[in-house]
Chains A and B, each alone.
Chain A
């Protein structure tokens, strides 16, 4: 049985302008990238644009990903999220109230229903991340959602939620630190590569 090439090997292939390496990375991560872009933008065409941009950027500048900064999957999703939020802010779509309607509904806490072409990390990791998010309080999850999916700053969240800025800051800090603790406890950090 042929061993699947690792992300690192495929990234080395990209450096050598190996087209096949890009195809394999696309097959491995396109579904995760597209799903996240679609969830943030709620627009299929815009999500396709973001997905295309993310992979072409990877093709043009594979050196922008540094292995020392962590596994490729989370890095790609971070790039995807930043591009999608960038687009969202430019379009101004999410600048209209009420943001508070987003309370507690954004993260998908159910079974992630992985596709057949999906790389193991996204389905197994997603299950654990969702379980970890489920361990947070609603108010903690809410601030992460508003920042992560809507691109709101802490000050904007304080305005939207009618809370003192200090309270929002505390919630953001404790929520993300708590999440890190849970994922460390569950060994997710060792599974993402």
Chain B
């Protein structure tokens, strides 16, 4: 991405506005890059963050309704009993006889339709794929133009540059991941995107590869809304479909707690 690099003096000037969440998206991104490299600004930022927290005391004090306490503690108790895996939906397999019947039916359908049907299907599939791609491009353009939120995507320590992209979020569940700086992968490998729920479970949000210029643009649809997720991670997985759960090394990610206001 073509973005100005901040000098230390400029970055230091912008830290108060950053702590207040008052920077535009591009200004924030440039400052985040500087912060990743500057321990002085990091220390200053921690102090300003604390100051901004203190500002929250300067409001009229009102007690919450007593029922809220019970509600919070009851919910915490439920979650503690359920454990981290308790909320995961269980996959139920069909009984063996039903699976066998389905397999036989599928084989029969395939034989009956024959080679002509397969060819027609292929043509139809190509048209469908083209239509899907066009629709995707339109949706990506629309999200990038209207996105209300974005978060910087930072690489894990072994990567050469700290910021390797941005995640643009639309209100609701659509988003666009713009990658600029991930290494091209070997054959048979893909990058897989994981959305991280509050309980630390991961949901796959698709796979992608980068081109020779280390770039990619990926359309995402979060199950539920974005507020259900605390972060996003990218791992390297076997292609072409990726894995049911993360198995490879995490190469980049972002915290959705660090959402910044503003679109492009």
Please give the residue numbers on chain A whose beta carbons come within 8 Å of chain B beta carbons, in ascending order. Answer: 17, 19, 22-23, 26-27, 30-32, 34-36, 38-39, 47-48, 51-52, 55-57, 59-61, 64, 69-71, 73-82, 85-86, 89-90, 107-109, 112-115, 117-118, 122, 125-126, 129-130, 133, 144, 147-148, 151-155, 157, 169, 172-173, 175-177, 179-180, 183, 188-189, 192
Contact = CB atoms under 8 A, between A and B. Distances in A.
B16 A177 contact: yes
A23 B55 CA distance: 25
Nearest to A106: B59
15 contacts: A48-B65, A52-B71, A52-B72, A55-B72, A70-B46, A70-B47, A77-B56, A81-B52, A122-B61, A148-B20, A148-B52, A153-B23, A176-B20, A176-B52, A180-B47
Contacts of A23: 69, 73
A71 B60 contact: no
A172 B16 contact: yes
Contacts of A175: 16
A106 B134 CA distance: 48
Interface residues of B, number: 51
Interface stretch (B76-84, B105-113, B121-129, B209-217): B76-84
Contact of B21 (A36, A74, A82): A82
Contacts of B63: 30-31, 34, 115, 117
Contacts of B2: none
Pick from A76, A151, A154 the residue with the most CB of B within 10 Å.
A154
Contacts of A31: 61-64
Contacts of B68: 30, 34, 48, 51-52
A82 B115 CA distance: 59
A74 B22 contact: no
Which A-B residue pairs are the 8 nearest by beta carbons?
A74-B53, A77-B56, A176-B16, A126-B57, A34-B64, A39-B59, A70-B50, A78-B53
A152 B22 contact: yes
Contacts of A85: 21
A176 B48 contact: yes
Given A75-B53, A147-B21, A130 B58 contact: yes
B61 A35 contact: yes
A61 B80 CA distance: 12
Most-contacted residue by chain A among B22, B63, B72, B76 (CB, 10 A) = B22
B180 to A, nearest CB: 24
B23 A56 contact: no
A20 to B, nearest CB: 10
Contact of A74 (B50, B77, B171): B50
A60 B199 contact: yes
Interface string B84-106: 00000000000000000000000
B29 to A, nearest CB: 13
A44 B65 CA distance: 10
Interface stretch (B139-147, B182-190, B241-249, B254-262): B254-262
B51 A183 contact: yes
Contacts of A17: 80
Contacts of A118: 61
A192 B80 contact: no
B58 A107 contact: yes
A19 B76 contact: yes
Contact of A144 (B20, B47, B257): B20
Contacts of A75: 49-50, 53
A44 to B, nearest CB: 8
Contact of A61 (B13, B171, B227, B230): B230
A155 to B, nearest CB: 6
Given A22-B76, A52-B71, A176 B61 contact: no
Given A82-B257, A126-B58, A148-B55, A19 B13 contact: no
A155 B62 contact: no
A136 to B, nearest CB: 11
B17 interface: yes
B57 A125 contact: yes
